[in-house]
Amino acid sequence: MALQKKGMHGAWTSRWTFIMAATGSAVGLGNMWKFPYVAGSNGGGAFVLIYLACILLIGVPVMMAEVLIGRHGRQSPINSMNEAVHVSGADLRWRSVGWIGVVAGLLILSFYAVIAGWALDYILLMSSGELQGINGATASAAFDNLLSNPGRLIAWQTLFLMLCVGVVIGGVKKGLGIAVETLMPLLFLMLLLLLVFAVLKGNFAAAVGFLFSFDLDALTWRGVLEAMGQAFFTLSIGMGAIMAYGAYMPQDANIGKTILIVAFFDSAVAIISGLIIFSIVFATPGIEPSAGPGLMFISLPVAFGGMPGGLLIGALFFVLVSIAAWSSAISLLEPCVAWLMEAKNISRVKANFIIAGVAWVLGLGSVFSFNIWADYKFAGFTYFDFLDFITANIMLPISGLLITLFVGYLIKRDIIDTEMQGTSERIIRLWELTIKYIAPFAIALVFIMGVYDKFTS
Ligand code: PHE
């Protein structure tokens, strides 16, 4: 028993390391690239409010459930889930939850590395000074130029995956633990520096007005669905990452409080990133806040390029984005690596290279989706769009829904009682209420409406 409680992969040095690791996983491209433009195209304030409600009512309860299963099993998500199913005497088909999560994680890693590669490329592009004083058309051309060059994309994708392997190979304490303890404070520091720059040089008042004003008319039903999907993606739930990290959490750490802190950090970073980006965007005439996915790679460079000293700050911004992406991607690699080590009894080093190799090969399809395969479409999707769609809109909601049902209705009571020790009665009661009655219905609604919307519009 003692052996099992420690697990073969080790554990975080402290609760604080878990908080940094989980925050590192949660804070990523979702917060810096996706949140501002999705909020922007859904009218700002009202969307932000719904998003925060989803974090609290769906995100936090599911995250607590994942950590609970992980910490009980102390193994990769697949085997932790197996363990919980066996101990609870549930139907063995529930084991598929772990599988869906890990496979979704691997697919996400494959395209996440490609997009993170763009951010790495932009660090160089910004610091080269080439973009000084550019306008919208040249900024689009610079971005297209990057996307049309498979060799350049593959080089960055490969480098990014190697950076991830470099961390995960070191194991839980010496690899992941040390990385997040160093990277996260650095990330917060850079975020604050950029916030100061945005307040001093940008149009901060307009950004605040935009993110916090309530234009209910601009919010559509579809926007509500996007807010829920975003809450899932940004908290890294439904894909094994948080379950894997939970497996390394110290037994005396209070799950309720810890997860609330992580969710708070994640939301704070999304909102601060939004404030930074919109302050800069609103200070530049002719750029729309609803610019869509190109907001970060086209609009921002134009805005930075027009400000004195802006390009250096722009380079710093893309370093920040790259770090955020890096600390997220390692949490996608770790669950697969842990599983391969358990299943095939191979070393951590070997497992890292095998999984990263698979992610690399799968990622080539995403690279080609932006150039030589751009015209090959399946049901209207490029390979990249397809992976993005089936992971975020199909696999994550299904896995999240199954987790709420399993933990809400089937799991053995003992597991909850043991893992929730230390969490206050009130939080436990609220958690049970949401995980049983609110989250499953909300997720089912998102899922059905999201899929319906996709195929009817
Ligand atoms: N949460 C990350 C983000 O917001 C994405 C991610 C998903 C990371 C799943 C790890 C696991 O960018």
In the predicted model, is pLDDT for residue 38 greater than 90? no
Can you give the pLDDT at residue 2? 36
- Ligand 1 contact via 369 beta carbon (within 6 Å): no
Other C-beta atoms closer than 10 Å to the C-beta of 122 total: 26
The whole-number pLDDT of residue 211 equals: 87
Phi-psi category of 250—alpha, beta or left, where left has phi over 0 and alpha has psi -120 to 50? beta
**253-302 per-position pLDDT tens digit:** 999 999 999 999 999 999 999 999 889 888 887 777 766 677 889 888 88
Query: Which residue's CA is minimally distant from atom 9 of ligand 1?
Result: 236
Average pLDDT over residues 82-111: 95
For residue 262, report the distance from its CA to the centre of ligand 1, in Å: 13
User: Which residue's alpha carbon is at the smallest distance from atom 11 of ligand 1?
Assistant: 236
Q: Which of 108, 164, 230, 236 to mutate to test the pocket of ligand 1 (most atoms within 8 A of CB)?
A: 236
Nearest CA owner, ligand 1 atom 8: 328
The per-residue pLDDT for range 353-392, each reduced to its tens digit, is: 999 999 999 999 999 999 999 999 988 899 999 998 889 8
pLDDT tens digits along 146-190: 999 999 999 999 999 999 999 999 999 999 999 999 999 999 999
State the Cα–Cα distance between residues 125 and 142, nearest whole angstrom: 9
Name the pLDDT band for 204 (thresholds 50, 70, 90): very high
Phi then psi dihedrals of residue 301, to 5 deg: -60, -40
Assess whether the C-beta atom of 203 lies below 6 angstroms from ligand 1.
no
| Range of weakest confidence among 64-68, 122-126, 419-423 | 419-423
What's the average model confidence in pLDDT over 209-231? 80
Cβ of 328 less than 6 Å from ligand 1: yes
| Alpha carbon of 138 to ligand 1 centroid (Å) | 31
Q: Tell me, in angstroms, the distance from the centre of ligand 1 to residue 112's CA.
A: 9
**In a mutational test of the pocket of ligand 1, which residue from 234, 242, 321, 333 has the highest number of ligand atoms less than 8 Å from its CB?**
234
The answer, yes or no, to whether any atom of ligand 1 lies below 6 A from the CB of 233, is yes
Does ligand 1 lie within 6 Å of residue 23's CB atom? no
Q: Is 272 in the pocket of ligand 1 (CB under 6 A)?
A: no
* CB 331 less than 6 A from any atom of ligand 1: yes
Distance 95 CA to ligand 1 centre (A): 23
From the CA of 241, how far away is ligand 1's center (Å)?
9
Cα 428 from Cα 327, distance rounded (Å): 30
Q: Is 192 exposed, middle or buried (0-12, 13-18, 19+ CB in 10 A)?
A: exposed
| pLDDT tens track for 313-327 | 999 999 999 999 999
234 lines ligand 1 (CB under 6 A): yes
Q: Which atom of ligand 1 is nearest to the CA of 331?
A: 10
Residue 88 has pLDDT above 80, yes or no: yes
Show Cβ contacts of residue 93 under 8 Å, excluding neighbours closer than 6 positions: none
Q: Whose CA is nearest to atom 6 of ligand 1?
A: 236
- pTM equals 0.93
Q: What is the mean pLDDT of residues 388-402?
A: 89
Cα of 268 to ligand 1 centre, how many Å?
A: 15
DSSP letter for each residue of 292-319 = TTHIIIIIHHHHHHTSTTHHHHHHHHHH
Residue 3 has pLDDT above 50, yes or no: no
Given a contact cutoff of 8 angstroms between Cβ atoms, the answer to whether 304 and 314 are in contact is yes
pLDDT at 1 over 60: no
Contact (CB, 8 A) for 12 and 173 = yes
Closest CA to 12 of 173, 183, 170: 173
- Whether 454 has a pLDDT exceeding 50, the answer reads yes
Higher pLDDT, 52 or 393: 52
Could you tell me which CATH number the domain at 3-456 has?
A: 1.20.1740
SS3 378: strand
Relative to the CA of 324, which ligand 1 atom is closest? 12
